[in-house]
Structure formats: C-alpha cells, structure tokens
Amino acid sequence: MQNSTHGFGPLLAAYPARMRRRHGAELIATLIEMAGPDGRSSRAARWQLAADGLRERFRLPGGRPLAVVAAVLALVVGGALGAAGGSWVGTTLYADLPGAESVAAQMLPPGGTPLSHTGDSSYLNVMDTIAAGLNPAEAAEVSRQKMEADGWDTTSVGTGDGSDGLLRNAHFHATNGNTELSVYAYYATADVDPMISIAGWPSRPAAFVPLTIAGLVLGMIVGWLVAAALTHRIAAARRRRPAALLGGAGLTLLLLPATTFFASLAYYLTGPDTASTGGRLHTGDAFTFGPTMDLLRETGVQGVFGQTGTYLSCTLTGFTLIAIAAIAARPHPAGEAPDPVGALPA
C-alpha cells in the first residue's frame, strides 16, 4: 500500500487526519482508479479531490449547534489575532520621527524658554514659552512659516476661545507625508505664561490597512479551521463534556482581548489624530492583542479592566485552556486507526 500512495501525498494531505484515518484506503483506491496509463490522474480530477479535501476541513460536525457557536467565536478571535498580526507588521513600516531638539530648533519661534523636549519612536512633545513681544497667534504663524519653508504642508492658523476645554489658543496642523505635527500656541492666564507646543506622531503607512485586512482574513480562515478540527475531535472523544467546557471557557476568555482589540483598531482608524500617541496600536516592538492605553483613557475604564495586563492574562489562559481541551478530547478506540499516510500533517 505504501507504493500505491507514492505521489498522492499532497492530495491526501488536503483531507483532515480524521478522514485519512477512517477513509484513507478508499481515498487511495479512488486515486488509483482515476490514474491513467502513466499512473497519474487528470489535473481536473486531482483539483477536484483537493477541493473536496479542503471543503472537508472547513466542515463542522453535523447536528451540533454548539459547534457552530464555537466556530463563530473562533472566527472572531482568529480575525482579531490576524488583524493584530497584520497591523503589527504594518507598524514596522512607520517612518522614524525627527528628534525633539531638532524640531524645537527648526520650528519654534526664537527667544522662548524650553519647558519640555521629549520624544521616542512613536511620539514627540516639544513645549517652550513664547518670547516677549509675540502673541500666541503671531508665534503660531512664525512656526507655520518655518515649517512651510522646510517643505511641510500646513493648514492655516486657526483659533480657539477656550470653550472646548482647552486654553484660549492659536493652532495649525502640519505633515510631510511621514510625520504629523499638531501645533498649539496658548495665551497667558493668571497662572500660566504664554507657551507654544508641538505634538508629533508618525503618519499611517499606506500599506497599514491592506496588511491589517490581509491578517484579518487569514486569521478568520485559521480560526474556523481550528474550530472545525477541534469540534470534530471533541465530537469523537470518549469524554466530550470536559473537553467542550474547557474549549468553551478558553474561547470565552479570548473574546475579551479580541473584541477590545477591534475597538482599539476602530479608534485608531477613525478617532482623533491628536490622541496621546496618535492612537498607535503597537508601540515600539510590543505586540498588542487587546485594548490600547489610548482607548482605555478615552473610555474611562478603570479597575481591573483598565489594566492591559488583564487582557494578556485572558489571552494566555484562553489559549492554554483550548490546548488542554484538545489534549483531553481523546478519541474512541475505533477512531484511532493509523493514518495511511503516516508522515503527512493533519
């Protein structure tokens, strides 16, 4: 039989292991019957068998509504995890920010006293007092003209009367395609001298959204495939209930970081650009699967659910429970026939 399977490995690998164990001999016999005089079946027949195998991998156990629920939950979790991976790859394409001291020297009006010049790879903040003889509107215009002369695209200087919760100010926005800058010049109050600030963050790379969508789709496919394989395994298990409870608990825990990551993604794509870090999903080399600090601050969530560590714990515990469920779902002895293509992956 081993010689008969020669060359059929890729086609048989399209079928899940449970099918190869139960119907491997019939599949091989079908392939041999379809083979022509040269021992090879037609290309169309081979494509049809491969498609049938892949379709079987996506099929859920019949007559089990909870399997459908689990697959839908896995679709959400897998999609979120895939989108997180795709967006993380997209984050590596962000341009480096200019240094805070360089921004202060090139873009602020002269004569001010430095208050704060800080920055890293994801955010910069520069703040100086405004020199005597300049009012905030004039200081903002000086800064805007400096940026425009340096090749930045700027908006015109606007004003704010303080009714929006900010101090009375003059402001504008600037971009050079790689970096976004928000400039605010504030009028003096009884307690605060006039000052000008520049907040900056990287512009979103053009490939960010396509990479995120690609990750989302791939994650949804993988999530469904894992759910189908696990629900079939549990359906054939000696003790279904413990395995099903463990798997269900794991999926439920994973829903928390998955749904909050989707919320963070929506906030980043549609929220205000002036969020504290530009709404970045992943900062530095960190991988985020759950809510960002920007989202938690925006929504005012506090307590245990206001800490990112909670969502990391849910992620690790959820995947651990699913792995234990897969191990606990041992098949009946009747389902333990050897794989006719033993070395093939499941």
Tell me the two tokens of residue 111. Answer: 């004569």
For residues 237, 241, 247, 250, the Cα torsion angle rounded to the nearest 10 degrees is -160
Cα distances (angstroms) measured from residue 282 to each of 29, 90, 120, 181: 52, 10, 13, 20
Question: Can you name the residues that pair with 124 across neighbouring β-strands?
Answer: 119, 200
284 by Cβ neighbours in 10 Å (0-12 / 13-18 / 19+) ranks as exposed
Scan for tokens 């206001």, then name that residue: 306
Bridge-based pairing state of the strands 158-160 and 124-129 = unpaired
| Chain centroid offset of residue 150 CA | 35
- The 10s digit of each residue's pLDDT in 128-169 is 999 988 899 999 999 999 999 999 999 999 998 877 667 889
Helix axes 240-270, 208-235, angle to 10 degrees: 170
Q: Are 119 and 309 in contact (CB under 8 A)?
A: no
Cα(274)–Cα(291) distance, integer angstroms: 18
Cα(131)–Cα(140) distance, integer angstroms: 12
Tell me the two tokens of residue 87. Answer: 């967006």
Dihedral sign of CA atoms 139, 140, 144, 145 in order: negative
pLDDT tens digits in sequence order for the chain, 346 residues long: 444 445 566 777 778 877 777 776 777 677 667 666 665 666 777 788 788 888 889 999 888 899 999 999 999 999 999 999 999 998 888 888 888 999 999 999 999 899 989 887 778 899 999 998 889 999 999 999 999 999 999 999 999 887 766 788 999 999 998 888 999 999 988 888 899 999 988 888 889 999 999 999 999 999 999 999 999 999 888 888 999 999 999 999 999 999 999 999 988 888 655 444 455 678 766 788 989 887 888 888 888 888 888 999 999 999 999 999 999 987 765 544 444 444 443 4
* pLDDT of the residue at 296: 84
Q: Are 301 and 102 in contact (CB under 8 A)?
A: no
Cα(279)–Cα(49) distance, integer angstroms: 47
Cα(147)–Cα(13) distance, integer angstroms: 60
Cα(177)–Cα(34) distance, integer angstroms: 59
Q: Which helix (H) or strand (E) holds 86?
A: helix 65-91
